Structure 1
Amino acid sequence: MEEDSDTRPIVSVAAAAARRRCRAPPFSCACPVTVEPVLFLCTFALALQGPLATQYLWERLREDLRYNGTKGGGCGNPAGPADPLQKEVEILTAHWNLYIGLGGFLVGLFVVILLGSWSDRAGRRVVLILPSLGLAVQAAVYLTVMYLKLPVAWFLVGRICSGLTGDFNAILAGCFAYVADTSNTGSRTFRVAVLEACIGLAGMFASIIGGEWQRTQGYINPFWLVLATNLAAALYAYLFVPESMTPQPEAKLFSCQHHRAVYTLFTSGGQGTQRTALWLYTLCFFLVVTVHFGSRDLYVLYELSSPLCWTSQLIGYGSAAQHLSYLSSLLGLRVLQRCLEDSWVAMVALVSNIASLVMFSLANTTALVFAGYGLGFLLMASTPVLRSKLSKLVDPSEQGALFASVACVEGLCSLVASGVFNSLYPATLHVMKGFPFLFGAILLLIPAGIIGGLGCKEQQARTRGTVVN
């Protein structure tokens, strides 16, 4: 017995040392920045890649069909029948974008849930590194297609390769779960908002750089930057991001347990009231992000066409104003949190979003469009509140499964938004050109009512002393 009692501390010390080695990266940093650069770099690469890939598809399909016209008709073109070849190029480009997006989403849907739930046991760092490498493989495939002039179907192969490693949604799940691991309930909403501000900043820089670079040097050089940026994100995560939890050596990647964990999370996790709140906040997140994606898809089309007829320079300014809302929302959230609960901060943000969409639905001058962008200065402050609310409803050991589910919902939002808003715009064009924006504003009344109702219940529960926040 004495020998067992003597060796037990030695074993525990050795095990603790092993866990510390797993948690520590090769280089440590005393600064509070952790996963923010990973999300910034991957978002920058994705935002730079997306428009360039679409333009490259258009150019290749135009060459295949031997169409020598220009991409943009412009407002000054005389009215008349559309060029059938140009219409065919546009249809083929839209179809290939749809195939590529669907292929990546359907493959990534199962992989993201697998990786997110697995990270609850195996640690977060691997879920940051693996998808970054997958995105780099996708960029390498795209470069190969451009150098060798391969059929555009190879773009789908690259997208599926990225989907097999979780794609960008796995990066989102890993980063938000990491922040949930390393923050308390009081600071979590702001930490999540900082991550979303990184998304906005990266998108703004990419939109400024991408178009001009492609115009002067073509497609290949920007895609080399996409490849390098994704590799840099993986390298940064490996070298500088400390593990936020203790990895379990027995954790298996390929196990049905991970998908069951997500199912259990939404069906039997927690108390009945918590499960109901989890579903309701997820519905709010779905509606808010769907409206955001849907309206964003229409901004450029709305600005290009009559009566606005914006030039590419004005469109660039509009894109910059749109992405600045991420920063203004972060600052606004920080200020509002000093005097309001998170639920009411989300309500103020939704009011800002609704006012912006209503203004866009009526805008027929450049001044009104920028007024719409200005009214939306808080529109991105609602999603960090919703992510934070969802995170507080589950156990610390379920954060990866939760944010993997949220990332899948976000991917679904993108598909639903494209289908609904891009179909609604031409269908209502002759009735009210801005109707899709008005439709989005009406949809946002649903999450506003849900968040307000849940916020009142939470406030009443705190008053009665039955809930400790």
Structure 2
Amino acid sequence: MVVAETNSPSPKATHVNKASVGRQVFYQSKLVQEKQDQKYYLRFLPEIIFFLYAAGKNLVDITLKPFIVRSTCMSYFVHNATICDNLGEHPEAEHLIQKRAALFLMVNQFLVYGPAVLQGILWGEWSDRNGRKLPMMTPSLGIIIAALFYVISPFFPLHSVCFILMGSMFQGFFGKTAVFTMALYSYVSEITLERRRTAKFTSLLAFKYLGCFSGALLSGLIIQVANIPCAFSSGVVLHMVCVITIYLYVIDDAASRERKNRLHKKGGKTCWDVFCSSGTVFLKRREGSGRTAIACIFIIFLFYQSCQTGHQENLVLLVSRVPLSWRPSLYSYLVSFSDLTTGLCLIVFAPMLMNCCEARDTLVLCLALFSISLRGLFVGMAFKTWMVFIAVGMGAFGGIAISVLKSLASKCVDLEEHGQTFALFAGTETIAKILGSVVYTFVYSLTCDVFPGFLFVMMSVIAASLIPLAIVVHRCRPRRRLSVVERFSEEIEDV
């Protein structure tokens, strides 16, 4: 009788999701295998990949933004190109080029990030079925093709802007950063424990900013020593190294995943079905007020990312006009300084807050938003070069907000929804970049004649208004849930 009671399933066991347990057991075995292999480079492989991608992307993007401004001037004053070398001495010409360059920057961002909204969601569903390896590689391939268009554009000064926009269109159709981050974060979330996920995402983000610093610094050095086509060519080399690294070292054993067989059994999914299934992340009932927490997380992410994009896109316009009148190389150094300070904050101060002070994710998020608010306020008031550098340094800690928001969202959803959740993050990020580029650049073009720093002060107010939403997330997020992997984590450490 006792044996029968021991072997009989408990009431809770009848409600166990077998698919969920199967996937968690797979993650457990994968962790055991990594522990046994003890390969140092594999433990930091996602960080290395993110570093290479970010360095190559930033090298191309930072070179491109001032290049668009100069190409706009060259195409307009094609018979009197010397005006473009000293544009600050011609106020009427500078005003005209600022307006036209702002328009081309908006169109460029729309071509890059518009198609990437759809690509991020569609690739998210595809990667759930077939793995994350190919989605990691395709954005780099798109940037390589785009960079080739950028290299040949100076040979056609009258139509150089058209070549630039064609290259940006290729970046959009290959997914750009939306697809890459979706695939990388989904892959990392599968091989890390929930209690270590925020730290791992922070490490990823730190290497991203260090890569952005390296790319921006290389952009300034190459432009100063050589020329702009050489900078684009160097970006191509970095992305080729990134693709080769992913192809050779990322082990994405999709064939052994239970989820692949389970998803293929559904069959016949249309694009509309993919979008509807991704939307269930917002609509599904969750423990406590988890659905409210997820909605607030995505709202914060949308406006935070739009402020970041608006800052990046319009800072190049602000510093290129009087009284600052920077050269393109100095703008590259500013971006490299911003990325370096952000990376150091993520490496030094973020672990101190999360490990030594044991700060909650929502507290770290509030501090990050406050840092972004200070940056926008001081950039808007700056009229000297050193003021801009100090203001950008004030916003360094704000970079941690992305990793905290993604970690919070992954803890609010079920394990089987991680792919859809990060696909939604990729789509939201792309929409935010379009919003930050088009809307904020339009606001800058309307207000630059009266007060050039108005846009940055406005973004400071927006960032500060997101702090109450972070408090709502803290109150509504569900309690921490122990997974099968975590219950066996102590045994894994002893292997």
- TM class by shorter chain equals 0.7 to 0.9
Gaps of 5+ in 2: 1-25, 483-495
8 Å CA contact 1:29–1:240 kept in 2: the answer is: no
Tell me whether 1:449 sits opposite 2:460 in the alignment: no
8 Å CA contact 1:49–1:226 kept in 2: the answer is: yes
Q: 1:60 to 1:308 in 2, by over 3 A?
A: closer
Rounded Cα–Cα distance in structure 2 between residues aligned with 1:55 and 1:375: 24
Rounded Cα–Cα distance in structure 2 between residues aligned with 1:33 and 1:375: 29
Tell me whether 1:437 sits opposite 2:450 in the alignment: no
8 Å CA contact 2:55–2:212 kept in 1: the answer is: yes
Which residue does 1:258 correspond to in 2? 274
Which residue does 1:137 correspond to in 2? 145
Q: 1:59 to 1:321 in 2, by over 3 A?
A: closer
8 Å CA contact 2:294–2:412 kept in 1: the answer is: yes
1:219 to 228, 232, 235: 228
Tell me the SS of whatever aligns to 2:396: coil
Alpha-carbon distance, 1:283 to partner:
0.2
| 1:240-265 alpha-carbon deviations (Å, 9 max, x no partner) | 11227645267479743432321222
Rounded Cα–Cα distance in structure 2 between residues aligned with 1:189 and 1:398: 18
Q: 1:345 to 1:271 in 2, by over 3 A?
A: same
Tell me whether 1:268 sits opposite 2:277 in the alignment: no
Rounded Cα–Cα distance in structure 2 between residues aligned with 1:303 and 1:357: 14
Which residue does 1:40 correspond to in 2? 51
Alpha-carbon distance, 1:284 to partner:
0.5
Alpha-carbon distance, 1:93 to partner:
4.5
Which residue does 1:395 correspond to in 2? 414
1:195 to 204, 212, 226: 204
* Structure richer in helix, relative to its length: 2
8 Å CA contact 1:169–1:407 kept in 2: the answer is: yes
| 1:288-323 alpha-carbon deviations (Å, 9 max, x no partner) | 111222223333443444445556675455333311
Which residue does 1:118 correspond to in 2? 126
Alpha-carbon distance, 1:215 to partner:
4.3
Tell me the SS of whatever aligns to 2:84: coil
TM-score, L = length of structure 2 = 0.77
Percent identity over paired residues = 21
Residue correspondence of structure 1 range 66-77 to structure 2 within 5 A:
66-71=79-84, 73=86, 77=89
Rounded Cα–Cα distance in structure 2 between residues aligned with 1:240 and 1:328: 27
Residue correspondence of structure 1 range 18-417 to structure 2 within 5 A:
29-31=39-41, 32-57=43-68, 62-63=74-75, 65-71=78-84, 73=86, 77=89, 82-83=92-93, 92-143=100-151, 151-152=159-160, 153-243=162-252, 246-247=256-257, 248=260, 251=264, 255-256=270-271, 257-268=273-284, 270=286, 273-308=289-324, 315-330=331-346, 331-338=348-355, 339=357, 340-417=359-436
8 Å CA contact 1:123–1:243 kept in 2: the answer is: yes
Aligned length: 437
TM-score, L = length of structure 1 = 0.81
Cα-Cα RMSD = 3.4
Gaps of 5+ in 1: 1-15
Rounded Cα–Cα distance in structure 1 between residues aligned with 2:163 and 2:332: 30
Rounded Cα–Cα distance in structure 2 between residues aligned with 1:413 and 1:272: 29
Rounded Cα–Cα distance in structure 1 between residues aligned with 2:181 and 2:54: 10
Tell me the SS of whatever aligns to 1:67: coil
Rounded Cα–Cα distance in structure 2 between residues aligned with 1:91 and 1:362: 22
Alpha-carbon distance, 1:73 to partner:
4.5
8 Å CA contact 2:98–2:317 kept in 1: the answer is: no
Rounded Cα–Cα distance in structure 2 between residues aligned with 1:454 and 1:107: 31
Which residue does 2:13 correspond to in 1? none
8 Å CA contact 1:284–1:450 kept in 2: the answer is: yes
Rounded Cα–Cα distance in structure 1 between residues aligned with 2:126 and 2:275: 9
